[in-house]
Amino acid sequence: MRICYIHQHFETNRGSAGTRSYDVSRHLTALGHQVTVICGVIDIGGLDRPPRHVPFRRLRMHGFDVIVCNVLYSNKQGFLARLWSFFGFALLASLAVTFLAPRPDVVFATHTPLTAGIPGYVGGQVHRAPFVFEVRDLWPESDIISGNLKEGWFTRLMQMLEEFLYARAEKVLLVSPGFERRLLERGYPAGKLRTILLGADGGVFAELRPDPEFRRAHGLDGRTVAVYAGVHGKANGLDYVIDAAERLRERDDVAFVLIGDGMEKPRLIERVKQLGLDNVRFLPYVPKTELPGILAACDVGLMILANVGERPVTPNKIFDYMFAGLPSIVNFPGPTAEMVRAEGVGVESDPADPGDLADRVAHWADRPDEARSIGALARQIGMGKYDRTVIAAQLAEQFAEVVERFNRRGDV
């Protein structure tokens, strides 16, 4: 098949965040498919930005083509700058899919952001090909629930766009069973929906060795290290981790490491200084190729979000922790906690009580053999069930079904 894969936040292993689209594109190519990626530029994504006067740049990597739209995105951008980035990419990607990409058999757009669905729909219409929309966040609903957005004309407009894209997509793929349940509650037909998880890249975790310098460089020798790797934003609720660290300040055998960046990071760093905590370390994003060794040098993975009730998400961090052989602590109810509980690869903590997180971390600090045993099971299950070679095969199967059904209707 000829697959046009649209993802604004496409990142390579040179970058520091999620590489799912990069990994899946490699594996789809290995399966014999012709893949063309249309993406933007994210500041931590590993792709160099073209000169300002150049709207597009073509790249070739691992047997697939990449069309880079010259639109920058950063987690440090404010609301208006992000909107400019989202709609700017939607415009340039619509031009790219129309005039630069080869005629596809299927157009596959992945959200976030929601606006990535616009060039997906345009590409499907222009090329008379089925449009498949992958949903990684039920936005704007998720931001309304978390308090990041207030309901008004803008959210109503975005909800109209969301409903338009879901209705026009031949198939809606979800990355969490919680998303699928929510869309079923909202009345979408079950036959249109399918959950395929984010998974992780088994290749970068295959030869797993703890980074020998990590603990020494950050004063962590002899400590049980609980690590959080991801965005430091309001929706992530990382004060919960700081509060837990404060409760364990008298234990010199426990430390918390927060890896990543975001708008809340400067405030969190200042808060730790004001509290005089010596058991919290803040680190910048690290390249994806370095992350496995750092995670393997830690002891516990933290899945933390702000306390706003049940979260239908299954973030990619849980799979990174599993592949790195870490037991996880999840502080939000929903499919992530359900998966951790069902697989026996971690525990839940009370999102309203940072003391409960402190107790969970202390429990494994006092019982390291138990933590290592759970971590070994997590790695075994992760590598066996959630590797992105498996994810790519599942996506290819869905694409083939969609294309066959679309062609059978005589739409081409």
Cα pseudo-dihedral 162, 168, 172, 178, rounded to 10: 30
Q: Under 8 Å CB-to-CB from 303, ≥6 apart: which residues? A: 315, 317, 318, 321, 328, 329, 330, 331, 332, 336, 340, 346
pLDDT value at position 129? 97
Cα-based distances in Å from 387 to 83, 149, 196, 338: 33, 34, 12, 19
Task: Find where tokens 């059904």 sit.
Answer: 405
Question: Which of 111-115, 120-124, 177-181 reaches the highest mean pLDDT?
Answer: 120-124
pLDDT in tens, 266-280: 999 999 999 999 999
- For residue 17, what are its two tokens? 């965040």
Q: Under 8 Å CB-to-CB from 329, ≥6 apart: which residues? A: 226, 300, 301, 302, 303, 346, 347, 348, 349, 357, 360, 361
Residues 282, 258 contacting (CB under 8 angstroms): yes
Rounded CA separation 146/306 (Å): 7
SS3 for the chain is CEEEEECCCCCCCCCCCCCHHHHHHHHHHHCCCEEEEEEEEECCCCCCCCCCCCCEEEEEECCEEEEEEEEEECCCCCHHHHHHHHHHHHHHHHHHHHHCCCCCCEEEEEECCHHHHHHHHHHHHHHCCCEEEEECCCCCHHHHHHCCCCCCHHHHHHHHHHHHHHHHCCEEEECCHHHHHHHHHCCCCHHHEEECCCCECHHHHCCCCCCCCHHHHCCCCCCEEEEEECCCCHHHCCHHHHHHHHHCCCCCCEEEEEECCCCCHHHHHHHHHHHCCCCEEEECCCCCCCHHHHHHCCCEEEECCCCCCCCCCCCHHHHHHHHCCCCEEECCCCHHHHHHHHHCCEEECCCCCHHHHHHHHHHHHHCHHHHHHHHHHHHHHHHHHCEHHHHHHHHHHHHHHHHHHHHHCCCC
Q: Tell me which residue of 387, 364, 229 sits closest to 293, measured CA to CA.
A: 229
Q: Tell me which residue of 215, 216, 392, 226 sits closest to 321, measured CA to CA.
A: 226
pLDDT value at position 146? 75
Whether 16 has a pLDDT exceeding 90, the answer reads: no
Rounded CA separation 282/259 (Å): 6
- Over residues 195-218, mean pLDDT: 91
Length of the chain in terms of residues written: 412
The pLDDT > 90 percentage for the chain reads 78
- Over residues 338-351, mean pLDDT: 96
pLDDT value at position 408? 87
pLDDT value at position 412? 46
Among the residue ranges 3-12, 284-293, 351-360, the one predicted with the least confidence is 284-293
The pLDDT > 70 percentage for the chain reads 99
- Over residues 368-395, mean pLDDT: 96
pLDDT value at position 220? 96
Whether 190 has a pLDDT exceeding 60, the answer reads: yes
Q: What is the largest CA-CA distance in the chain?
A: 70
Structural domains present in the chain: 2-199+387-408 (3.40.50.2000), 205-385 (3.40.50.2000)
Confidence (pTM): 0.87
pLDDT in tens, 71-114: 999 877 888 898 999 999 999 999 999 999 999 999 999 998 99
Structure confidence at residue 47 as a pLDDT band (50, 70, 90): confident
Tally of CB atoms within 10 A around 286: 18
Average pLDDT value for the chain: 93
Whether 302 has a pLDDT exceeding 80, the answer reads: yes
Sequence letter at residue 186: R
Structure confidence at residue 140 as a pLDDT band (50, 70, 90): confident
- Over residues 298-326, mean pLDDT: 93
Rounded CA separation 278/253 (Å): 11
Whether 185 has a pLDDT exceeding 80, the answer reads: yes
- For residue 374, what are its two tokens? 């759970």
pLDDT in tens, 328-344: 999 999 999 999 999 99
